[in-house]
Amino acid sequence: MKKIFYILPFFSLFCFIFADKTLAKVIVQEKGTVEIAKDEVINDDLFIGAETVNLEGTVNGDVFIGAASVRESGVVNGNLHIGAANMTVGGLVSGNLYLGGGSINLNKAEVRGSVISGSGILNIDSESSIGGSLISGCGTLNNQAPVGRNVFIGAGMIILDSKIGGEARLGGGKIDIGSKTIIGKNLSYLIEDNEDFSLSSKATVAGEIKKYEAKPISPKKINKDLSRVASVTKNVFKLISFLGALIVGFILIKLFPKPVLAVSEQVKNSFFKSLGIGLLVMVLAVPTLVLAALTLIGLPLAGIAFTFLMLNVYFSKLAIGISAGVIISDRFGWKEMSSYGKFTIGLLATYIIMKIPFLGFFLSILVTLTGLGALLIYYKNCLKTK
């Protein structure tokens, strides 16, 4: 098991030393303004974290900005990502524009891709243009700029007065579609009160105009839907957990085949002994760690011990999975099956057992304690042979 304590630090050191520092230009400035001047050209991706950012130059790459206030009037030959309380975009963005903030203004901006935003207020003037789609969720949205493709908006207040190449889907508390509006396909909208929807007689809609009714949803249906979502989410996380455990198990089998086999044999041959030791350690560990932490002097040691304990709690189900796979393969005479195949079958059986209604919780505890005990017995035997 010593190998892993050498592999991890050297791998981390390798990543730190040899990481390519030319992959992007990074600017971090806690106070003041970061200026990218008009005559400045950056041939790389750009990351900026600052109080205020003023970007007037050219960036031949993607740009990521996080700041309190941002003003952009340069050229971004890539995607532009901004998160700020207040921002004004007035330059050229050859890719997509991703915005998140309190107040957003697009003044004389040319966005050749799509605009995707979430904000309190979004204002887009008539001298701006969007080549792709406009997708937004905000408090108030006022768009006067032509949009090459589709518009999908959900907002408290929507003002739309421009040409849209594709369809428009709107949902809001109030919707006002002005006289300059030309929609190339369908217009679909969802609004609670008809009086809050206004469509100018001079506006043009090439396709159909569809209104969707906002139907009240019963609390019973909401609870049912939430339960279904919770169930699906839980199963997805279970699947991710299983796949993660499977990968970790494969790595352990590859790097430490003998220790893995030894722990498996310990579970198989001394199940109740492993269970008893695992139970004893878990009962004693919590009060011992708490007391050590309270002394303050023992706090670092308690932290290390707790981390070691949690790692072994995770490894415990892997130990049971390996042992279960060996038992199942022996039972059905699958002698030619590889260690990886046995582990996969055993781990799957372990996860299925832990999913049994009512009993699953207690079986999970049983798996954890037994696997933990087997690992600790293995560590003890290793120390004896030193």
d(CA 76, CA 188): 33
Per-residue confidence (pLDDT) for residue 234, from 0 to 100? 74
Residue-wise pLDDT tens digits, 104-141: 999 999 999 999 998 899 999 999 999 999 999 989 99
Residue-wise pLDDT tens digits, 129-173: 999 999 999 899 999 999 999 999 999 999 999 999 999 999 988
Going by C-beta distance under 8 Å and a sequence separation of 6 or more, which residues neighbour residue 265?
323
Helix, coil or strand: residue 48: strand
Question: What do you get for the CA distance between the two ends of the chain, in Å?
Answer: 13
Compare 27 and 294 and report the one with higher pLDDT. Answer: 27
pLDDT grade for 296, boundaries at 50, 70 and 90: low
Compare 362 and 106 and report the one with higher pLDDT. Answer: 106
Is the CB of residue 59 less than 8 Å from the CB of residue 77? Answer: yes
Write out the two tokens for 333: 């005479």
d(CA 350, CA 327): 12
Going by C-beta distance under 8 Å and a sequence separation of 6 or more, which residues neighbour residue 76?
55, 58, 59, 62, 63, 91, 92, 93, 94, 95
d(CA 78, CA 94): 6
Residue ranges covered by each domain of the chain: 21-216, 220-384
Burial class (CB in 10 A: 0-12, 13-18, 19+), 263: buried
Residue-wise pLDDT tens digits, 22-66: 457 888 787 889 999 999 999 999 989 888 999 999 999 999 998
- What does pTM read for this prediction? 0.55
pLDDT grade for 216, boundaries at 50, 70 and 90: low
Write out the two tokens for 13: 């050191």
Phi/psi of residue 161, nearest 5 degrees:
-150, 70
Helix, coil or strand: residue 220: helix
Res. 308: pLDDT tops 70: yes
Per-residue confidence (pLDDT) for residue 215, from 0 to 100? 60
Per-residue confidence (pLDDT) for residue 386, from 0 to 100? 58
